[in-house]
Every structure is written in structure tokens, then in C-alpha cells.
Homo-oligomer: A and B are copies of this chain.
């Protein structure tokens, strides 16, 4: 395949095209994934999430620039699951990172919602694999928000950085609770704002709620990304976490769990497609829908009957 020949030759265009192929599921995209798979597992994969307005993009920008001073190549998968209809307007602020795109050691890819959310988590994971196999030393997965979908997406990372900001309302603080438990490292960005100390205490308190014996206590770093302050501290904290994962064997364990989940999800997905094709290709399906809609039969009985016909 010409595309993959160029990919292995280090063509950035080929990398971009391979990601598009996977994203759009164009013919032969699984061959691409098959081919790169044995070359994955080398990159340091970092997830970045946090409250909207926390300055994740600016911080990501500075992190990338720091990694570049260390001579590392960096891939960025910027994922926006919050705009199912508008198609990812927030990623417009990628434009801010334009100066990065001139650096051939950096590769940025935005992904919005197309099709199902489960799909987005899977596809961003595939984009990470492609960047990993391409040879990027560090791959960042950045998300825009704080929902379950963001949690699913950053679960594909080895280390997750949660970016918070002082002075958001209580309601938003509460929502943050959902992402606290996935943080391996915390950054309080815009830490010169009022409320940074209070936020720090709040995070510590939430961490204290976890009464289990923990091998890693997530450190809380303070940054002012716009002034490039605290960026090195965050990088070092993430590197420490990586060392911790390696030394304790947790890296292997996390990645093994991801492998199980990945296979499981793919099996479910493929079986679903097969079954739905089979089920909806008969006129029977429409008849059932009519009957259920008219409340002549309940959907549970219909599902039983449909499932029974596919599996023995």
C-alpha cells in the first residue's frame, strides 16, 4: 500500500491521511490499524482534561513547546465530544496553536463527534496508535470538557492531567468531582487568580475522601500557562508518574486492561453491526416496529424474538 510506504518513510501527509482513513472508516482502514499495531506502545500517552475555560489549550501549547526543547516529538489528538451538532466549534481555538504546526516535530489532529460517542473514544485511541507507530515520543489527548465522554477518551492515556481554574461557580466545582478521580496530576492554572488556595484545599479534601491505600497521591501543581509559569513542574510531575507506573508494574496493568476493553468493545461493535444488518434486512423488523408503536406488542417480547433468531 503506497500510503503506508510513505507513512513508514515519515511522511506527515501519510500520517494525516491514515488518521482520516480510520476516522471515516474508508475501505481498508483496518489493514492500516493491523499494520501499525506491532509498532505501538512506545509513546508516552498523556490525557489532558478539565473544566471549560481552565486554559487547557494554552497549557497544552506550553507543554508541547517544553517537550520540543527536550528534543521530543509530540502528537496531539484534540477531541471535542461536546458538540454533537455544531461539529466541534471549540476546537477553533486550535488556531492559537498555529505556530506549533510550523514545527515538523509536532503533529496536531482535531476530532469532533461523528457517529456515536463510543466511536469517538475508539477513534481517538486509534489516532493515538497511529501517532505512536509513526514515532512520536509523546502523544497528548486533549478534551474540552468534563463529562463521561471525556473520561472515556482520556482513559486511553497512561497519565491524566486534570486542569482546573480558581473562581468558577459552585455548580461547576461540583461537576469537577467527576473528573477528580481520573487525575494523576492536577494543575491549578491561572493560579494568580483569587481562590487558588481554596481550590487547592478543595482538591486535597476530595483526594482525602479516597480512604483506600493509594500508591500514588496525585500532586497538585500551580501554573500560569499564559506566562509559561509552572510548566516544567507539570512535566516533571507527569514524568514522575510515568516512572511510578513503570516501577510498580501499573503501566503494564493499565495497558492490559485497555487491551481487554478494546477487544471487548470491538467484538460488541462488530456483532451489533452484523446483527442489525440481519435484523433490519427483513420486512419483519418494520412489522414489529408498527406493532410495538401501536402497543399491540411490547418491545421486550420483540427483542427476545429478534435475538433468538440470530443466536442459537
Q: Which residues of A contact B (CB under 8 A)?
A: 30, 33-34, 37-38, 40-41, 52-53, 81-86, 89-90, 113, 117, 144-149, 151, 169-172, 174-175, 177-178, 180-182, 255-256, 259-260, 262-264, 266-268, 270-272, 274-276, 279, 288-289, 292-293, 295, 298-303, 306-307, 310-311
Majority SS at the chain A contact face: helix
CB within 8 Å for A38 and B276 given contacts A33-B300, A263-B303, A307-B267: no
Q: Can you pick out 15 interface pairs between chain A and chain B where the beta carbons lie within 8 Å of each other? A: A40-B295, A41-B295, A52-B172, A82-B175, A82-B178, A85-B180, A90-B174, A147-B148, A256-B289, A259-B299, A267-B276, A268-B268, A271-B272, A271-B310, A274-B311
CA distance A67 to B276 in the complex (A): 41
Contact of A276 among B52, B151, B268, B275 (CB under 8 A): B268
Report yes or no: B81 in contact with A147, Cβ–Cβ below 8 A: yes
* Number of this chain's copies in the complex: 2
Complex Cα gap A299–B267 (Å)? 10
A82 touching B146 in the complex, CB below 8 Å, given contacts A172-B52, A175-B90, A279-B267: yes
- In the bound complex, residues from chain B placing their C-beta under 8 Å from that of A174 are 52, 89-90
Q: Is the CB of A264 within 8 A of B276?
A: yes
Tell me the complex Cα distance, A82–B144, Å. Answer: 14
A174 — nearest CB in chain B belongs to which residue? B90
Chain B residues near A295: list those with CB within 8 A: 37-38, 40-41
Contact of A84 among B52, B53, B151 (CB under 8 A): B151
Given contacts A84-B178, A85-B178, 12 further A-B contacts (CB under 8 A): A34-B298, A34-B301, A37-B300, A52-B171, A81-B148, A83-B175, A83-B178, A90-B175, A256-B293, A266-B303, A268-B268, A274-B311
| A267-B306 contact given A149-B148, A299-B262, A311-B274, CB 8 Å threshold | yes
A267 CA to B300 CA, complexed, in Å: 9
Q: For the complex, what is the distance from the CA of A256 to the CA of B264, rounded to whole Å?
A: 31
Residues of B within 8 A of A303 (CB): 263, 266-267, 270
CB distance from A237 to the nearest CB of B (A): 21
Q: Which of A82, A113, A279 has the most CB of B within 10 A?
A: A82
In the complex, which residues of chain B have a beta carbon less than 8 angstroms from the beta carbon of A113? 148
Q: Is the CB of A144 within 8 A of B175?
A: yes
Q: Contacts A34-B301, A180-B85, A266-B299 known; A259 to B147 CB distance under 8 Å? A: no
Q: Which residues of B contact A266 (CB under 8 A)?
A: 299-300, 303
